[in-house]
């Protein structure tokens, strides 16, 4: 159909032997709805890799993360397709979840609002120790020693005092560090971080990003990090999945995504971001807003906001290889080969 040499590909292209996590063709529909909220997404995370999942609010980032963790409330949704493989074992998500004993152990999650996920009634030390005891056993004294080591590891000063403190006594940045300490308690192979710095100031955000970056270097842990901030992606990601309307529209190594963005939505997001090096003037925008799920168009879900949409786009674009490890789901990528714009 098109003039170039692209070939449709299926599933993630970065199937490295070290993949810790793979999600293949995951589709989820909430009960009572006719349109799938998450529609056929595939991604993978390797040892030591940071995959950033980026997209605007409501595009299905958290639903995907919660599904991988098996934490979505039962009975609220149906998985229509999807295979999850974790550390070489496969699970058919239509029927089964990741075994719960892996949760908080081999695979750990941190959330955007650390206050709601810490228990206000228990001291920091007790909460970390609890997680250690639950998965590793041993004595309480040992677990508390481990808790103290973890606090040091996540850069908390005066760890002995902090162990005795309660969540309300900590600042937002400190709570997020405690959450990370709990997540790390059992040396997870995979960390899922859902907007871990969104509620924090830039100076504290920088500290937390550095921490996550150091940890994956030291421990080889894979990380799936959800964010809506392209700056964070540029700073920390090795690879990027750009999501729109419950689909991964572009996927690839971070350098490729920034140097050679192909999907009109990715280009739009980058154009819309105010830049320090190009102040003033009008920003190029992404017109309109995300339709409600019932109004999601067939074919390319972005077509109600895409300046390049035409009849072809009523058909769903397959992900195509766009470079090494880079894939894009748009009938007209790269734009300059397919379209002209007349004033």
Partner 1 sequence: MSGDLILRASGLTKRFGGGGFLTRAPVVQAVDDVSLEVRRGETFAIVGESGCGKSTLARLLMRLLEPTAGQVVFDGEDISHAAGPDLTRLRRDMQFIFQDPFSSLNPRMTVGKLIGEPLEVHRPDLTARERRAKIGDLLRTVGLTDAHANRYPHEFSGGQRQRIGIARALASGPKLVIGDEPVSALDVSIQAQVINLMGDLSRDLGLTLVIIAHDLGVIRHMSDRVAVMYLGRIVETGTAAEVFDSPRHPYTQALLASIPAPRVEGEGRAPQLSGEMPSPTAPPPGCRFHTRCPFAGPECRNSVPELAPVDTGEVGSRKAATGTDHRVACHHWREIPLPAGAARSAPHSEPVEARFALYRAAIEGGQVVLKARVPTAAT
Ligand X SMILES: Nc1ncnc2c1ncn2[C@@H]1O[C@H](COP(=O)(O)OP(=O)(O)O)[C@@H](O)[C@H]1O
As measured in angstroms, the least distance from the Cβ of 72 to ligand SF4 is 28
Instruction: For the segment 38-67, give every residue that binds ligand SF4 (CB under 6 A).
Output: none
Report the SS3 class of residue 70.
Answer: coil
- Is 62 a residue that touches Mg ion (CB under 5 A)? yes
Cβ atoms 322, 6 nearer than 8 A: yes
Nearest-CB residue for Mg ion:
62
Q: Which is nearer to ligand X, 77 or 106 (CB)?
A: 77
Answer whether 61's CB lies under 8 Å from 55's CB: yes
Q: Is 302 in the site for ligand SF4 (CB under 6 A)?
A: yes
CB of 318 to ligand SF4, least distance (A): 10
Peptide bond into 187 cis (omega under 30): no
Shortest Cβ 203–ligand X spacing (Å)? 25
Could you list the residues that contact partner 1 (CB under 8 A)?
1-3, 56-57, 171-174, 201-207, 209-210, 213, 228-232, 234-236, 255, 258-262, 264, 267-277, 279-280, 282-287, 289-290, 307-308, 310, 332, 334-343
Would you give the DSSP letter of residue 51? Answer: E
d(CA 11, CA 289): 28
SS3 200: coil
Separation of alpha carbons 298 and 173, rounded Å: 42
Q: Does 332 participate in binding ligand SF4 (rule CB under 6 A)?
A: yes
How many Cβ atoms are within 10 Å of 7's Cβ, its own excluded? 8
Q: Which of 303, 320, 326, 327 binds ligand SF4 (CB under 6 A)?
A: 303
Distance CA 309, CA 327 (A): 19
Asked if 327 is part of the footprint of ligand SF4 (rule: CB under 6 A), the reply reads no
Interaction between residue 190 and ligand SF4 (CB under 6 A): no
CB of 267 to partner 1, least distance (A): 5
By CB under 6 A, which span of 79-87, 188-196, 216-224, 325-333 interacts with ligand SF4? 325-333
The Cα–Cα gap between 41 and 139 comes to: 43
Query: Taking Cα atoms as reference points, which of 112, 124, 259, 246 lies closest to residue 185?
Result: 124
Number of shown-chain residues binding Mg ion (CB under 5 A): 1
**Residue 162 half-sphere exposure, CB side, CA atoms within 13 Å?**
22
Kindly tell me which of 12 and 334 has the beta carbon lying closer to partner 1.
Answer: 334
Name which of 147, 140, 176, 172 is nearest 161 in CA terms.
147
- Are 102 and 51 in contact, with CB atoms under 8 Å apart? no
Name the segment binding Mg ion (CB under 5 A); options: 2-10, 60-68, 120-128, 294-302: 60-68
Which residue lies nearer to Mg ion by CB, 37 or 62? 62
Contacts of residue 244, Cβ cutoff 8 Å, sequence gap at least 6: 55, 56, 59, 265, 290, 301, 302
Among 28, 193, 306, 322, binds ligand SF4 (CB under 6 A): 306
* Binding-site ranges for ligand X (CB under 6 A): 30, 37, 55, 57-63, 76, 293
Q: Which of residues 235-294 bind ligand SF4 (CB under 6 A)?
A: 264
Nearer to ligand X, 52 or 170 (CB): 52
Where along the sequence are the contacts to ligand SF4 (CB under 6 A)? Answer: 264, 300, 302-303, 306, 308-309, 313, 317, 330-332
């Amino acid at each position: 159909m098109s003039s170039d040499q692209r070939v449709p590909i299926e599933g993630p292209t970065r199937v490295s032997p070290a993949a810790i996590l793979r999600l293949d063709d995951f589709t989820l529909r909430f009960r009572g709805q006719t349109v799938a909220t998450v529609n056929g997404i595939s991604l993978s995370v390797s040892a030591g890799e940071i995959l950033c999942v980026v997209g605007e609010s409501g595009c299905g980032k958290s639903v995907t993360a919660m599904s991988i963790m098996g934490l979505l409330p039962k009975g609220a949704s149906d998985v229509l397709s999807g295979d999850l493989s974790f550390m070489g074992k496969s699970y058919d998500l239509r029927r089964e979840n990741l075994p719960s004993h892996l949760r908080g152990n081999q695979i750990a999650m941190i959330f955007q609002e650390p206050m709601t996920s810490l228990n206000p009634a228990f001291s920091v030390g007790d909460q970390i120790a609890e997680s250690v005891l639950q998965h590793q056993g041993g004595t309480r004294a040992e677990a508390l020693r481990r808790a103290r080591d973890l606090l040091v590891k996540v850069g908390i000063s005066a760890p002995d005092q902090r162990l005795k403190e309660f969540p309300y006594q900590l600042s937002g940045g400190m709570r997020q560090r405690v959450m990370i300490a709990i997540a790390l308690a059992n040396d997870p192979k995979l960390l899922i971080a859902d907007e871990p710095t969104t509620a924090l100031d830039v100076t504290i955000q920088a500290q937390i990003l550095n921490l996550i970056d150091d940890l994956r270097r030291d421990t080889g842990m894979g990380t799936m990090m959800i964010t809506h901030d392209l700056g964070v992606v540029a700073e920390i990601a090795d690879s990027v999945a750009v999501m729109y309307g419950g689909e991964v529209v572009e996927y690839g190594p971070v350098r490729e995504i920034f140097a050679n963005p192909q999907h009109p939505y990715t280009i739009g997001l980058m154009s819309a971001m105010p830049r320090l090096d190009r102040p003033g003037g009008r920003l190029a925008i992404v017109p309109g807003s995300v339709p409600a799920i019932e109004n999601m168009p067939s074919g390319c879900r972005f077509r109600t906001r895409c300046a390049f949409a035409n009849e072809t786009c009523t058909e769903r674009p397959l992900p195509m290889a766009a470079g090494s490890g880079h894939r894009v789901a748009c009938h007209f990528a790269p734009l300059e080969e397919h379209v002209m714009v007349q004033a």
